């Protein structure tokens, strides 16, 4: 009798363990494994468009996007701690948190922009204005007192410059490129997933519910750009400790490589001094008198190339002086003139922001009292800038409809479906 009770007890224990093991193996429902039926109603999910009930399509996570590097977010201190040589006091140090996101490994190159224009010409049909609006302003190379005319004619189209960063592109043109790239990449992903065009929404976008598309390409926010450029993950140790902040996207205060076989070589493309763009013949220092290829120079600790020098880069933010009173500490962004004190308290005749003149003029030339052109922030320094501007915390601005031979851009996108 006791033996039978013991056997029954063992059987109950084994059965309970088996049930627990099965439960553990099955686990709780997730976005990737939502289960066969609703945990709220008990109704069975549909899998295909022809099924009855609520359709829950297969989802394997956010698809990889071409040229995108994952940037893990976290807490950081934005702003510059260096001497404010411009006396602008417009980028105060502040602690913020940046969500994880993706950013282009390199600047957008000429070959990418020519691809964009090729498809625009095909798609624009009888609308040549659309194609013309996307044309970079190659006249940005022309100056009255210098002979840069060959770059106007060759820089964009000559095959030798294919992987040099595109310039002469305004903030508005860069934003249009991001929208086009989103549509093209998602269309390709939909084709690979055998999603018919008839299943797209009325505006031609692939539905987010399909689970095969990537979020929108866009310009990075200033906070994202500065966070990615600094790459402080490379100075992290222990539990939430970082050894130091960085003046540049690499360790130390030097612009030369302190390690290995490349010791002594410059780490970015910048203007060393007045009239000195590349050193002397036979011993060129940074190897480039204008821009250089987008894969030149060592990447930072996020594996991003040319986050200092080569070309400045547009970011999403509208420019105005930063302060502690009107900044968010979670994914900060200046998207418009919301609560902008310039309208009420600043003397417009002496405004630091001012209003830009028309055309591709120097951003320091501003006329007062004209319609505001929405100045946008650009960062990073360029082939024609002193080393000071290569520090990620420094910032400048220009009208969003203007362009320059020293400003390019790269794209970013959110990491969807995550809480960090």
Q: In this predicted structure, which of 7-11, 128-132, 134-138, 153-157 has the lowest mean pLDDT?
A: 7-11
Q: What is the pLDDT of residue 220?
A: 97
Residue 94 structure tokens: 């502040």
Residue 317 structure tokens: 């933010």
Residue 288 lies in a domain: yes
- CA separation for the pair 71, 148 (Å, rounded): 38
Q: What is the pLDDT of residue 342?
A: 42
∠ CA 223-242-87, nearest 5°, is 45
Q: Is 413 helix (H, G, I), strand (E, B) or coil?
A: strand
- CA separation for the pair 269, 290 (Å, rounded): 8
Closest CA to 96 of 410, 414, 339, 333: 333
- CA torsion sign for 339, 345, 348, 352 is negative
- Judge whether 376 and 318 are in contact, CB under 8 Å: yes
Q: What is the pLDDT of residue 66?
A: 92
C-alpha distance from residue 251 to each of 123, 268, 301 (Å): 46, 13, 10
pLDDT band at 227 (very low <50, low <70, confident <90, very high): very high
Residue 106 lies in a domain: yes
Residue 17 lies in a domain: no
pLDDT band at 154 (very low <50, low <70, confident <90, very high): very high
Q: In this predicted structure, which of 10-14, 61-65, 88-92, 322-326 has the lowest mean pLDDT?
A: 10-14
Helix (H) or strand (E) holding 253: none
Residue 1 lies in a domain: no
- Judge whether 226 and 94 are in contact, CB under 8 Å: no
C-alpha distance from residue 323 to each of 16, 29, 78 (Å): 61, 44, 12
Of residues 254 and 318, more confidence is placed in 318
pLDDT tens digits, one per residue of 343-393: 443 334 434 344 433 344 444 433 322 344 578 999 999 999 999 899 998
Residue 376 lies in a domain: yes
∠ CA 168-169-173, nearest 5°, is 160
Q: What is the pLDDT of residue 237?
A: 64
Residue 318 lies in a domain: yes
- Average pLDDT over the chain reads 80
pLDDT tens digits, one per residue of 68-113: 999 999 988 888 766 666 666 677 788 899 999 999 999 999 999 9
pTM: 0.82
Contacts of 157 (CB under 8 A, 6+ apart): 110, 114
State mean pLDDT over 208-228. 91
pLDDT band at 4 (very low <50, low <70, confident <90, very high): very low
- CA separation for the pair 204, 190 (Å, rounded): 12
Q: What is the pLDDT of residue 198?
A: 55
Q: What is the pLDDT of residue 346?
A: 37
C-alpha distance from residue 368 to each of 350, 352, 356, 399 (Å): 8, 10, 8, 14
Residue 234 lies in a domain: yes
Q: Domains in the chain: how many in total?
A: 1
Q: What is the pLDDT of residue 163?
A: 97
State mean pLDDT over 241-248. 72
Residue 152 burial class via C-beta count within 10 angstroms: exposed 0-12, middle 13-18, buried 19 and up? middle
Residue 372 lies in a domain: yes
Q: Provide the CATH number for the domain around residue 123.
A: 3.90.1580.10
Domain hosting 257: range is 69-420
């Amino acid at each position: 009798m006791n033996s039978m009770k013991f056997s029954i007890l063992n059987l109950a224990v084994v059965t309970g363990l088996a049930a627990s093991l099965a439960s553990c193996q099955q686990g709780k429902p997730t976005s990737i494994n939502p289960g066969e039926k609703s945990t709220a109603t008990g109704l069975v999910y549909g899998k295909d468009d022809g099924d009855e009930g609520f359709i829950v399509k297969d989802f394997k996570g956010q698809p990889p996007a071409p040229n995108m590097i994952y940037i893990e977010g976290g807490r950081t201190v934005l702003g510059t701690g260096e001497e404010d040589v411009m006396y602008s006091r417009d980028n105060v140090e502040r602690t913020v948190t940046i969500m994880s996101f993706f950013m282009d490994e390199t600047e957008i190159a000429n070959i990418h922009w020519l691809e964009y224009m090729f498809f625009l010409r095909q798609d624009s049909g009888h609308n040549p204005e659309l194609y013309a609006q996307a044309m970079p302003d190659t006249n940005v190379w022309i100056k009255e007192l210098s002979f840069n005319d060959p770059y106007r004619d060759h820089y964009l189209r000559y095959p030798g410059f294919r992987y040099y960063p595109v310039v002469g592109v305004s903030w508005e043109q860069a934003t249009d490129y991001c929208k086009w790239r989103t549509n093209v990449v998602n269309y390709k992903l939909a084709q690979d997933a055998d999603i018919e065009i008839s299943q797209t929404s009325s505006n031609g976008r692939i539905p987010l519910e399909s689970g095969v598309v990537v979020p929108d390409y866009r310009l990075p926010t200033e906070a994202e750009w500065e966070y990615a450029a600094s790459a402080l993950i490379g100075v992290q140790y222990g539990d939430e400790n970082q050894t130091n902040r960085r003046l540049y996207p690499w360790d130390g205060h030097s612009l030369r490589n302190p390690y290995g076989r490349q010791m002594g070589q410059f780490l970015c493309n910048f203007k060393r001094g007045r009239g000195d763009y590349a050193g002397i013949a036979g011993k060129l220092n940074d190897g480039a008198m204008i821009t250089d290829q987008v894969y030149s120079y060592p990447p930072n600790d996020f594996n991003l190339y040319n986050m200092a020098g080569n070309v400045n880069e547009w970011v999403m933010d509208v420019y105005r002086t930063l302060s502690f009173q009107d900044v968010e500490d979670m994914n900060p962004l200046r998207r418009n003139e919301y609560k902008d004190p310039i309208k009420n308290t600043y003397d417009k005749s002496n405004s630091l922001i001012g209003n830009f003149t028309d055309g591709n003029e120097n951003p320091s030339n501003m006329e007062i009292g004209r319609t505001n052109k929405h100045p946008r922030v650009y960062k990073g320094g360029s082939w024609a800038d002193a080393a000071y501007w290569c520090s990620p915390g420094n910032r400048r601005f220009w009208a969003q409809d203007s362009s320059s031979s020293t400003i390019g851009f790269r794209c970013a996108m959110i990491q969807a479906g995550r809480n960090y």
